[in-house]
């Protein structure tokens, strides 16, 4: 005799969405709260907002600044919240010569520019892991880039007029991370010389990518360019963060999540 067992479809595991600073999440937490059913779990001095937004079950949190903070947060997202993938949104300094303030960089690969255990290990290589460039998940990065392209096509002219920037462009390539706010022409020039294909510099991405690599969790990183990592960087960063970053993050993440919800 056969027994028909009715099984409930397995609930979808949540997506981890994070940024370093609140402005970099745009209206995401508010949208999640409005959607209803959001609960906030405090763990390791961070607030993890668990719920659903734009049709996707998510855990949304702030990593704060730097590689250790980012690695610790991603580790918690993986172990305490069982996320299926991780997306980071934020701002960065432009390094590539064609990368301008207001442009968007979606990373294909990430590297820690301040990691140097030479001569024991090659420069930039994570000791005992044998990797210097961590790849973003190709499908996640492609969908994030697609959301950025749609955002720029639909809102780019308005953004440029409103913020006095040029028409934003979307770049894809290497993002470099280190525990330094890069804010001098000499330092950004040295990074360009050492890593000619670097497009943007920030302080979290490669740490996130390393943890995700070690645990086999897909990840992707999107960065809006807030400054050009030179002597004007601090002022440009502050203005961009307070006035512009949230508009970009909201526009990009809402498009990305609506697409993610149906696939
Ligand atoms: N003064 C700020 C600290 C900003 S650190 C404060 O107290 O809040 C800069 C943040 O933006 C980091 O999270 C980093 O990832 C990103 N970032 C933007 N421009 C950067 C640059 N030129 N160099 C390094 N990180 C940059």
Residue 8 has pLDDT above 70, yes or no: no
What percent of the chain shows pLDDT beyond 90? 94
Q: Which residues are catalytic?
A: 24, 227
Phi and psi based region of residue 39 (left: phi greater than 0; alpha: psi -120 to 50; beta: remaining): beta
Domains assigned to the chain = 15-261 (3.40.50.1580)
Q: What is the pLDDT of residue 11?
A: 79
What is the four-CA torsion angle of 131, 91, 53, 30, rounded to 10 degrees?
140
Give the number of C-alpha atoms closer than 13 A to the C-alpha of residue 51, restricted to the C-beta side. 21
pLDDT, position 233 = 98
Kindly state the tokens that stand for 70. Answer: 């980012």
Which atom of ligand 1 has the smallest separation from the CA of 21? Answer: 13
Phi, psi of 87 (to 5 degrees): -125, 130
| Distance from the alpha carbon of residue 101 to the mean position of ligand 1, in angstroms | 14
Q: What's the pLDDT band for 7 if we cut at 50, 70, 90?
A: low
Confirm if 113 and 198 have CB atoms less than 8 A apart. yes
pLDDT average, residue stretch 148-166: 95
pLDDT in tens, 95-146: 999 999 999 999 999 999 999 999 999 999 999 999 999 999 999 999 999 9
Residue whose pair of structure tokens reads 């903070």 in the numeric block: 69
Q: Ligand 1 centroid to 38 CA: how many Å?
A: 29
pLDDT tens column, 61-97: 999 999 999 999 999 999 999 999 999 999 999 999 9
Read out DSSP for 144-166? HHHHHHHHHHHHHHHHHHHHT-P
What atom of ligand 1 comes closest to residue 92's alpha carbon?
A: 18
Q: What distance in angstroms lies between residue 181's CA and the mean position of ligand 1's atoms?
A: 5
* Least confidently predicted of 8-22, 137-151, 155-169, 186-200: 8-22
Query: 253 CB under 6 A from ligand 1?
Result: no
Q: At what angle do helices 205-215 and 67-79 cross, to 10 degrees?
A: 30
Sign of the Cα pseudo-torsion (142, 146, 13, 91, in order): positive
Q: How far is CA 89 from CA 55, 62, 74, 136, 148, in A?
A: 18, 10, 13, 13, 11
Average pLDDT, the chain: 96
Query: Which protein residue has the closest C-alpha to ligand 1 atom 13?
Result: 65
In whole angstroms, give the CA distance from residue 145 to residue 220. Answer: 10
**Strand bridging mode 39-43 / 46-53:** antiparallel
Tell me the three state secondary structure of residue 74: helix
Question: Could you give the 3-state DSSP secondary structure of residue 232?
Answer: coil
From atom 8 of ligand 1, which residue's Cα is the shortest distance away?
Answer: 21
**Residue (of 174, 164, 172, 177) closest to 147 by Cα position:** 172
Q: Average pLDDT, stretch 222-229?
A: 98
Q: How far apart (Å, rounded) are the C-alpha atoms in residues 258 and 260?
A: 6
Task: Band the pLDDT of 1: cuts 50, 70, 90.
Answer: very low
């Amino acid at each position: 005799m056969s027994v028909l067992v009715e099984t409930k479809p397995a609930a979808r595991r949540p997506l981890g969405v994070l940024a370093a600073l609140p402005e970099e999440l745009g209206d995401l937490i508010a949208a999640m709260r409005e959607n209803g059913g959001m609960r906030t779990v405090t763990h390791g001095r961070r607030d993890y907002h668990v719920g659903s937004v734009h049709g996707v079950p998510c855990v949304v949190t702030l990593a704060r600044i730097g590689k250790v903070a980012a690695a610790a947060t991603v580790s918690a997202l993986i172990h305490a919240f069982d996320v299926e993938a991780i997306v980071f949104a934020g701002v960065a300094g432009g390094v590539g010569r064609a990368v301008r303030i207001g442009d968007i960089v979606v990373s294909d690969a990430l590297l820690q520019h301040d990691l140097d255990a030479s001569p024991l290990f090659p420069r930039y290589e994570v000791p005992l892991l044998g990797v210097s460039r961590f790849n973003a998940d190709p499908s996640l990065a492609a969908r994030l880039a697609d959301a950025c392209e749609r955002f720029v096509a639909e809102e780019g002219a308005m953004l440029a007029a409103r913020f006095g920037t040029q028409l934003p462009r979307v770049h894809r390539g290497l993002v470099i991370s280190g525990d330094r706010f890069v804010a001098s022409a000499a330092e950004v020039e040295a990074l360009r010389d050492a890593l000619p294909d670097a497009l943007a510099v920030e302080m979290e991405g490669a740490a996130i990518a390393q943890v995700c690599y070690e645990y086999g969790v897909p990840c992707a990183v999107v960065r809006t360019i807030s400054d050009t990592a030179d002597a004007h960087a601090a002022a440009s960063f502050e203005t961009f963060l307070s006035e512009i970053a949230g508009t970009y993050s909201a526009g990009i993440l809402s498009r990305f999540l609506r697409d993610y919800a149906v696939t």
